[in-house]
Every structure is written in structure tokens, then in C-alpha cells.
Amino acid sequence: MSYDKILLSTDQAEKILLKYFNIIGSATSLPGEIDFNFKINVNNKPLFILKVSRPDDKNTRLDFQQKLLEYLSVNNKTLIAPEIVKDNNGNSISKYIDNMGNERMVRLLTWVDGRVWSSIKPQLEDLRYSLGKHCGSLTSTLQNFNHPEAHFNFDWDIGQSLWTKEYIHLFNDAEEQIIISFQNKFERNKPNYDKLRKSIIHNDANDNNIIVNSDFVNPKVKALIDYGDAIHTQTINDVAVTCAYAIMDYHDPLDAVLPIISGYHSEFQLLEDELLHLYNAIGMRLIISLTKSAINKVKEPDNVYLLISEKPAWKLLKKWHAINDDFAYYSFRNACGFTAHPKEDDLKSWMRQQHFELPQLFPTINRNSIHHVDLSVSSNWIGHQNEFNDLDLFQFKIERLQQKYPDKIIAGGYLEPRSIYTTSSYDKIGNHGKESRSIHLGIDFWLPAQTPVHAFIDGEVVIAVNDAGDKEYGGLVIIKHNLKDFNFYTLYGHLTVKSATSHNIGDVIKKGEVVGKLGNYPENGNWAPHLHIQIMLSLLNYKNDFPGVAFHRQISVWKSICPDPNLLLKSNAFQNNSPIKNNNLITFRQKHLGKSLSLQYKTPLKIVRGSGQYLIDNFGRKYLDTVNNVAHVGHEHPAVVKTGQEQMAVLNTNTRYLHENINLLAKELLKTLPPELSVIHFVNSGSEANELAIRMVKANTDSQDIIASEVGYHGNSNACIDISSYKFDGKGGKGKPDHTHIIPLPDAFRGKYKGADSGKKYADEVQNRIDTIQDKGRKVGAFIIEPIISCGGQIELPEGFLEKAYQMIRNADGLCISDEVQTGCGRMGKTFWGFQLHNVVPDIVTIGKPIGNGHPLAAVACTQKVAEKFANGMEYFNTFGGNPVSCAIGTEVLRTVHQENLQKNALVVGEFLKSELKSLSKQFPIIGDVRGQGLFLGIELVDNATNPLPDETEYLVNRMKDYGFLMSSDGPEHNVLKIKPPLVFSKKNAEELLYYLSKILDEDFMTKCYDSV
């Protein structure tokens, strides 16, 4: 019968509702594979779902479904599920004769309110965990329920999935291969699979059947609906179905599936044997779905619902197929709290029992103890990236260490997080953005090239290859060892290619025989000669190599597959370099460090290394830094680091002696400033610079009346706080002092005066303050403002404002100070200093953060006149200001800005980013304003009445961190995202940032304020 003929209209549904249930409601059609489903609104509220069967449906299982729902409502009071509404005659199933005279079954169920899984963005780990937990609880409740109709032939039952073999011809060659590989495995494993425990399961937790609560911060699964596919089958199939649907559209489906399994297991304990079949069961469920679509495409080409899940299902199946099934199994086990590898404990206890000594491994090296070398991300010993990439230098350092410890073997590395691997083969895009393999799985022994390595127990060669080139090891040998009831493997990496490939696969190597000789660089894959030894419980189907470094997210699985080789050696020289949680640091900090220090992010980060535009945490995770305008030319810029180190080794003292460096830095600075600003004073921080500027004002004008902007920040000293409305008007502040005069924040978007022509109005506010000062019979000291007000929320001064304000101040004999602590040194792109954007020349310019690239260095530039009046006889002495180390660093920073064309980069990348952000604001109206210059931008988040959205801003900052982007927010309402990265930030970085920003802007928490309108 054609689909059109059996289709039911909403009109018919409403009539059925009235006739059988005496309910007046309005029906809306819902998608359904077999039944025709209608959502029933009564008084505009969804209250019921009406289900009408197909006439040709020989499904006699409706009684089973109804009994199942009844069973649930009696046996699990906390589990929400649809409830049965009986008809006028007290039946839970009514019979209806349609227009064609066919009998159709009608049921009415209560509507479960909430959001459908498919509409939820994002579906984070906690939500997936709650999905598993909910399904597990349902399965657990159903353990003692049975019904004769629950045993039937069903295409959607994974247990019966081999029917799909008949339809293999519907797929192309590549697809066919993937499908066959799952089918064959399923068939092979069927005897054991058939023995798994069985029970009645829901069997259809697809994304339209999962209802999520309406909590946007911490969403949880509330209910499962549609019990039409429930069946008695292997219980693990329910886990497989749940997983198969919930992990579509993830970069890394294995990572995505694990919280579901943990959640399931927390309510319904899965057995190890069941987990063994889970990977393939997930594949088979996808194959059922794809085969159904392929068949139905031919049968009912106009039924869109049938085709809906085909595309993502294919994408997922291909990715799932590429995952090693053993690794998946170990990961599932780990998610359930079993040892990831079933033999982990056995191997470890065997290793502990062995009496094994270093000379057995290296008989030609007569040393039996170890000196631990630290190659972790935070290691000062490995130093700068440029140092560890210099192979000769690295070799030299190892040799020096060896000379220092002649009786020891230099070694280390097990579970060490390293950031020394920089080729792209170590990177992937995971579910949390870019991830890099960083966790070292073996121990490295640093010994001379050609040192022979001997086998410590008998074994058979399974891999002996040249693993050089892009790969990790140079010459690589893997030996298999048979113990009583399991095998394990030993990996010997970084050998000479010749010695490694002298073995044939299958060769037996006896205890004490030579495995190979240590290779030299570059043949050995990387750095100085060393042996990488790694113990493995599985080869995971690797044929020519094996990972020696793993992703941190998978550390608990890998450490189970690859136990610590030191269990054999039993040396206590190895320090634990494996990354630890940061709780201890936080506790100490809270107790013993200044109580007003704050920490960023809900889960604070421990950053241990910087590199260019990246910061790297103690787990080796790299974050793109969009915040740090202090690391102006890039974190740990090699030239800057080198200059600082070199000068520090020679001399650092105060400015009472002649030295080139202070003059050189002054000259570099003067080159960038207009000729009027020709005197430089060096200090150590932005606060000190502004503090000195205030002293200059007092000396010059005999006044301490200073005009500043609302929400301005100028430093942490007493005098600076007194002119910083951001502080004295903020938390803990005591309001403005008498000598400070605040103008409204000159914000043309949401300020007192709006629009492009607001410059004059804000300038008039300056005049107002001048008048107030003069009305009190006092003189105007100065006007201080940043060219773009950073703490104010990246507020660009409106056109014409600064020029007019400066004129007014000068007319009143006051001084004009431009605070360039944030904006200076090329960041603006178009100009080197922010004031230059406004066609003015200040009397004093204060310079801070960027000039030292992280080193405490700041400066005050002023006119000859200001400088002369300040030098009134009282010496200005500053212990550290202008010292040779700081000045060498500052000079190198300014040179680097020029040499690397970083001002131009700020302009090009900044303008690209700004214009793309503006385009994004059309797609996401939550972006109310995009502003700023060069690489000093702000994104203001507002609702459609321009109210600030601080919670959404904080959410965005934290979510961006999840994806590996460091961002910060500011502004009086904390609703402005600031973008002010190191100037080496590239267009590609900007593109990555935009990609993830748009992803998160589309998440429910961000869109809710617009959706609800």
C-alpha cells in the first residue's frame, strides 16, 4: 500500500482524540518510522502523544509496549517515561477503522516535556554521562520484566543483524569493505556473543527519543520515549544503540562514547565479556541503520525521515572502522573502572618478581644506577625550544651530564608530559580542539652511539624495521615474550637501522643476546643517542611501528597497555614527572599567598611553558593565547630570551654607571616617538610609569587635580588607584578622591552619548570637569586616558574626542598623558602608538607591558619642558629602572617588532579578524559590537535590548578554553571579550579562533536569550 494512502491527517488525529478519549486538542504530526505520531496540544500546552499504527502493521507487540510502560511506572518511581492514558472504555489500546476500512491501533500517552537530544548544543561529557546513566537505570529496572511478545524477529535487533549481509550489493566497493569487515567479525564472534546475558531493553535511544531537561548550564537526560523497538536480546545491545546514535558528528567518536559507557555502568554494571563485543555491536547497529536506509531509499523515496540519519551514520561508521577494536575495548574497560588491559595486574606482578639489573641490558656499560633527567614540559634543563631543537647542543648537554655522573646511566621519561615533539604527526583535531601527543610511554636511556642493547628475556622478533624519516624511532625492534597465560612485548627504539633490520621476523632472541646498537642522530629519529624501551601488552594491530608517545586524554588506557619498565629495574632514582592535578597548588596559594590574588577559569590552568602565541600546560596541552599583550613579540621569543640571558651573565646594576644599553633602548624608543617627546625615564612597571607621570604633573602644574575616564585603570600604586575608576568604583573601592575628576566612559555603543558623532559631547564632559576644578579655585593638573580603554571594554575613543579634549586641557594649562601601557609598541597596526590614531601629541606617554615582553620594564616619555621642571633638584633614583639587562631586553623587543614586521602583522591580521567578527555578528546577534584597532579588539555581547550579557561572556571564555583558546573578558559589565594576543598571532590563528567562536556562539546557552524572544 502506498505511503500516501496510509498517511493520517492532523484533522483525523484530532477526531480520533475526541472520539476515543473525549479530549479536544490540536494535533501536530511528528516523525516516526512505523506508527503515525501526533503531538497533542491542549490549551496550547503539549500534553499527549497520539500513536496510530499502520494498517499493514502485523505488529502484535502493543500489549508488550503498554505493559512495559506500566511496569516502569510501578517499579521505578524516579525514572520518567511516558504514561498510558486509557480510552473512554478503559482500554489502553483502542481500535480505529480508517477511511479505507482498515483496522488501526490507537494509543494515547502523556507528553514528556523537555528538549529533544538532537536539538541540544553542545552535548558535553556530563550530558553524555547522564544519557548512559539514564539508559542504564532503565535497563536495570527491566531486569525482572518479561513478556511473550518481547521475543520476536526484528531487523533492528543487533543480535539478529546478519540479515544485512543479503543487501551488501546496495553499497559501493569501499562501503562494502567496511560493512563486510564488521559482519565477518560479528559472525566469527557469534558463538561467544550468543552466550551473553539477555534482557528486555529499550533498543532505540536515538536522538529523537531522548528528552533532556531545560537546564542550559548543566543539562541532563530526563527521559527516554518511544518504546516501540523494545525487545528481549543481549543486554549490551542497548549500550551499543545508545552509543551509536549519541556519537555522530564527533571528531573522535571513541572519546565521545566513553562517558556514555561510564554512566551506563554506574547504574547497570556491565561485564567484561560484554564489553568485548561492544565495539562491533556499535558497528553493526550503524550497519542496520544504513542498510535500512539503502533499502527504503528504493522503496519509499519520498519518506525523508528514513534518510535523515544516513549521512552522519556513514561518517561515523568510517571513523569507527578506523579505530583499533582492541584499543576501543581497553578504553571501554577503563571507562567502567576495570584495568584497561585485562592482563595489566598479571604483567605488573610478574615484572615485580623479576630480578633484573641494568648491566643485563647494557653489559658493555658497567653502571648499575640511574641519574634521572627531566624532559617534561616544565623542565628548565631542556630549556628553550631552540635549545632542544639544536641536536648538537642537546648532545653536548647530555655528555656534560654524563661527565657529572660518570657512574650512572642518564635516563627518564615514563609518563612524562613532553612538549618537544613538534611535527604534525603528533597532532590531531579531537573533540576538544587541537590535541598533541605528549605523554611518553617508555624509558629513555642516554648512552653513546653503538652501545649494544641485550635482551633481558627470551623472545621472538615481531617487528624489525627502519622507522626513520617522519616516524619516531630510527631502527626499531619489537620482541614478543610468552608467559604462562599471556604474551607481552618489548620495544627497543632509536637503534641503528642496520642493527635493527639485521633481524628477520620470527627470529628467536635469547636472553642476553644482542637486540641492536644505539643509533646516532639523525638516523635514530631524534636527538642524542638513546634507547627507548617500552613494555606493551598488545601490539594493537601495528605492523611497522608503535606509538611511544600518547595523547594525554588517553593516559589511563595507555599506561595500562604499557606498564612502567622500571617495575623490572626497581630503581628509585626516577622522579615522578607524570602530570599531577593542581589541587595542592591551589590550596597552598589560597592559604599562603596574597588573598586578593585571583585565578582565571572555573578549573584553573597550570601553565609551565610559553612559545610564540601559545602557552602550554603541565599536561603538554597547547593553548592559543589571545589575551597576552605582555608577550608582545611572542612568548619566550628566542632573541629576547637570549639577549636577556647573555646580559644577565655579564652585568646587571643600577644606572649610576655609564652603560650603552640604557642609551640604546632610549634611542630605539625615540625613533618611534614624535620629536616633541624626547626625554625617557625608565621604570619597572606600568604602575610605576603612571606614578612617575603623576609626580611630573605635580612638579609641572603645582596641581594634583587629574581628569580621567570612568572605568579607566592606570595601576596598582596609591596614586594610580586614586585615578582608576575601575578600582575605586569597583568591588572594595571607596569612591573617587576629591582631586580626581571622572568623565563618563566615552563609549559610542552603549555609553552616555551614542553614535559616531559623540566625540564632541564627551569632550564637553572634559570641559565640564575643567570648569569644576577651576570653580573650586584650583588648577588643572592633567588629563590621563588610554587611546583604547582596555578595562572599560576595549572602548575606542570617538572621533575628534581626544583632539578636542587635549585642546581644552592645554587651554587650562594642564598636561595630557597618554597611557600606552596596553596599546603601545605597534599593536594598533596603523600606528606605533595609540595616540597617533588621534592626531595628537601628548606631553607624557607612559609605556609598560609590551616593551619587556614579560620582563618588568616600563618607561615614561615626555617633553623637554616637562622633564626639566620635574628635575627640580630632587634626585629620581630607581634601583632597577634602566638596568642593563632590562634595557637589553627592551631594545631587542623593539628591534624584533621592526625586524619581524609585527606592526604590519597586527594591522593585516587584526583587520581580517575584525571584519570576520563583524560578519559573524550578522549571524549571531548576540555580538552587539566589534571594535578596536590592530590586534587590540573587543567583542561586546548583548541581548536584543542591548543589555549586557556577562554570564554568556563568561561561558564563552570557559568554553573557548575547552577548545584550547585563552580569552578574557572585561568592561564595566564584564560582557566584552578582549582579543590582544602576542603580535605573532597569524591569519591562520585568527581563522581557528573564528571557527571555534562561531561553534560556541551557536550553543544553546549563547542563543537562548534570542531564541526565547
Ligand X SMILES: Cc1ncc(COP(=O)(O)O)c(C=O)c1O
For ligand X, the closer CB: 714 or 838: 714
For ligand X, the closer CB: 715 or 882: 715
User: Of these, 786, 940, 970, 1003, which contacts ligand X (CB under 6 A)?
Assistant: 786
Q: Tell how far CA 348 is from the center of its chain.
A: 34
User: Counting contacts by CB under 6 A, is residue 714 touching ligand X?
Assistant: yes
CA distance 90 to 93: 9
Residue 474 forms beta bridges with which residues?
467
Query: Which range, of 134-142, 457-465, 686-694, 960-968, touches ligand X by CB under 6 A?
Result: 686-694
- x/- site string to ligand X, residues 690 to 709, per CB under 6 A? x-------------------
- Nearest CA to 683 among 563, 851, 551, 799? 851
User: Of these, 159, 253, 644, 686, which contacts ligand X (CB under 6 A)?
Assistant: 686
User: Counting contacts by CB under 6 A, is residue 685 touching ligand X?
Assistant: yes
Judged by CB under 6 A, how many residues of this single chain contact ligand X? 15
DSSP states along 149-180: GGS---TT-GGGGGGGGGGGGGS-HHHHHHHH
Shortest Cβ 643–ligand X spacing (Å): 21
Query: Which range, of 462-470, 553-561, 713-721, 931-939, touches ligand X by CB under 6 A?
Result: 713-721
Secondary structure (3-state) at 431:
strand
Strand ranges (E), 251-368:
none
- x/- site string to ligand X, residues 115 to 154, per CB under 6 A? ----------------------------------------
Query: Which range, of 119-127, 401-409, 680-688, 807-815, touches ligand X by CB under 6 A?
Result: 680-688
Shortest Cβ 724–ligand X spacing (Å): 8
Sheet with 459-467, side-by-side order of all strands:
369-372, 408-412, 443-446, 530-536, 487-495, 474-482, 459-467, 508-509
For residue 63, what are the contacts with CB-CB under 8 A and spacing of at least 6? Answer: 93, 147, 149
Instruction: Please answer whether residues 986 and 908 qualify as being in contact, where contact means their C-beta atoms are separated by less than 8 angstroms.
Output: no
Query: Which range, of 365-373, 437-445, 675-683, 710-718, touches ligand X by CB under 6 A?
Result: 710-718
Shortest Cβ 808–ligand X spacing (Å): 22
Q: If 0-12 CB within 10 Å is exposed, 13-18 middle and 19+ buried, where does residue 423 land?
A: exposed
CA distance 103 to 705: 91
Q: Which of residues 442-481 bind ligand X (CB under 6 A)?
A: none
* H or E element in which residue 369 lies: strand 369-372
User: Counting contacts by CB under 6 A, is residue 687 touching ligand X?
Assistant: yes
For residue 967, what are the contacts with CB-CB under 8 A and spacing of at least 6? Answer: 626, 627, 956, 957, 960, 961, 977, 978, 979
User: Of these, 781, 848, 932, 971, which contacts ligand X (CB under 6 A)?
Assistant: 848
Strand duo 927-933 + 936-941: pairing: antiparallel
Residue with cell 653536548: 396
Instruction: Please answer whether residues 450 and 471 qualify as being in contact, where contact means their C-beta atoms are separated by less than 8 angstroms.
Output: no
User: Of these, 790, 836, 853, 953, which contacts ligand X (CB under 6 A)?
Assistant: 790
Total residues belonging to the chain: 1013
Shortest Cβ 819–ligand X spacing (Å): 5
Query: Which range, of 461-469, 550-558, 774-782, 816-824, touches ligand X by CB under 6 A?
Result: 816-824
Instruction: Please answer whether residues 351 and 568 qualify as being in contact, where contact means their C-beta atoms are separated by less than 8 angstroms.
Output: yes
For ligand X, the closer CB: 21 or 713: 713
For ligand X, the closer CB: 758 or 790: 790
- Backbone phi, psi, residue 252, to 5°: -125, 90
For ligand X, the closer CB: 87 or 691: 691
User: Of these, 819, 952, 970, 1003, which contacts ligand X (CB under 6 A)?
Assistant: 819
- Nearest CA to 459 among 403, 512, 419? 512
Query: Which range, of 44-52, 458-466, 611-619, 685-693, touches ligand X by CB under 6 A?
Result: 685-693
Shortest Cβ 823–ligand X spacing (Å): 8
Residue with cell 629602572: 881
Shortest Cβ 728–ligand X spacing (Å): 15
Query: Which range, of 490-498, 504-512, 682-690, 934-942, touches ligand X by CB under 6 A?
Result: 682-690
User: Counting contacts by CB under 6 A, is residue 827 touching ligand X?
Assistant: no
Shortest Cβ 825–ligand X spacing (Å): 13
User: Counting contacts by CB under 6 A, is residue 821 touching ligand X?
Assistant: yes
Q: Tell how far CA 477 is from the center of its chain.
A: 36
For ligand X, the closer CB: 578 or 716: 716
CA distance 905 to 374: 37
Q: Which of residues 23-52 bind ligand X (CB under 6 A)?
A: none
User: Counting contacts by CB under 6 A, is residue 529 touching ligand X?
Assistant: no
Instruction: Give the nearest residue (CB) to ligand X.
Output: 686
For ligand X, the closer CB: 459 or 715: 715
The site for ligand X (CB under 6 A) is made up of 685-687, 690, 713-716, 786, 790, 819, 821-822, 848-849
